[in-house]
Amino acid sequence: MNTAPDLPLAHLALAAGLLALPLGASAWLRLGLVRPLLVAAVRMVAQLFAIGLVLDALLAVRSPFWIAALIALMVGFAGREAMARQERPLAGVWGYGVATLAMAAGLALALSVALATEVRPDPWFDARVVIPLGGMMLGNAMTGVALALSGLVRGVETEGRAVEARLALGEPIEAAMRPLVRRALAQGLMPTINAMAATGLVFLPGMMTGQILAGAAPLVAVKMQLLVMLLISGSTALGALVAVRLAARRLGDERHRLRLDRLAPKQT
């Protein structure tokens, strides 16, 4: 069986030289992105090598407990990252809790479906399959959840008076918020829809490319990529739906009032 080549660190350093383009453009045009780019690049390198070492250890231990602990840690960090990019998140633990619960629900659904297909590992908790699949699901769900929550809050801020007018006319809070919920869900799902529409025509996704580089037949790689894209769409849709519904309920109360006081101050 063919395997992907082991890249020397010098070759990675050569590819890293391409970062000079966005760094130079940011410095020249004063975009203020030099520091964020450098921090993101360093985090990416550190996190990828760290997860590689962790996966090596998990493959040797083969313990469902430690694999579940790593999945829980990934979900927790995904929830934090989704909230960190909100201009005005829900106040208190609600913002973090809503995002984390939403992505956990989407991940549970996607992994359940994946383990019912031919990709199911033996044993079922094999880190070689569960962790990479979970990471792909969480990465895409994180974007969808963050965009959906941001869209909902922005809609509440800009159309709050219209919502309150509908409430004054006797509509329940769920009905008054429904147009905002719909637009927020559409915003959260747009990246997934765009990715599905462009896959195969505009770009070849990572799963398919990796399998082909590792020696798999193109049609085998295509079917695996289709499975992954469908899992991503399902987990992202469920995550965005759960997040928006929970956030909308938090922004109203049992007396059918709009509660903007439950939003944190704007992050600068």
- Domain contains 268: no
Please indicate whether residue 210 or residue 174 has the higher confidence score (pLDDT): 174
pTM above 0.95?
no
Q: Are residues 29 and 98 in the same domain?
A: no
Whether the CA torsion 7, 10, 16, 17 is positive or negative: it is: negative
- Domain contains 191: yes
CB atoms within 10 A of CB 184: 28
Nearest to 229 by CA among 205, 201, 203: 205
Full residue range of the structural domain in which residue 252 is found: 63-262
Contact 210, 4 (CB under 8 A): yes
pLDDT tens sequence across 200-239: 777 777 778 777 877 788 888 888 888 888 999 999 999 9
Instruction: Say if residue 12 is exposed, middle or buried (CB neighbours under 10 Å; 0-12, 13-18, 19+).
Output: exposed
Q: Are residues 57 and 74 in the same domain?
A: no
3 state DSSP class of 112: helix
Q: Are residues 148 and 215 in the same domain?
A: yes
Q: Are residues 43 and 115 in the same domain?
A: no
Is 60 exceeded by the pLDDT of residue 1? no
Q: Are residues 153 and 235 in the same domain?
A: yes
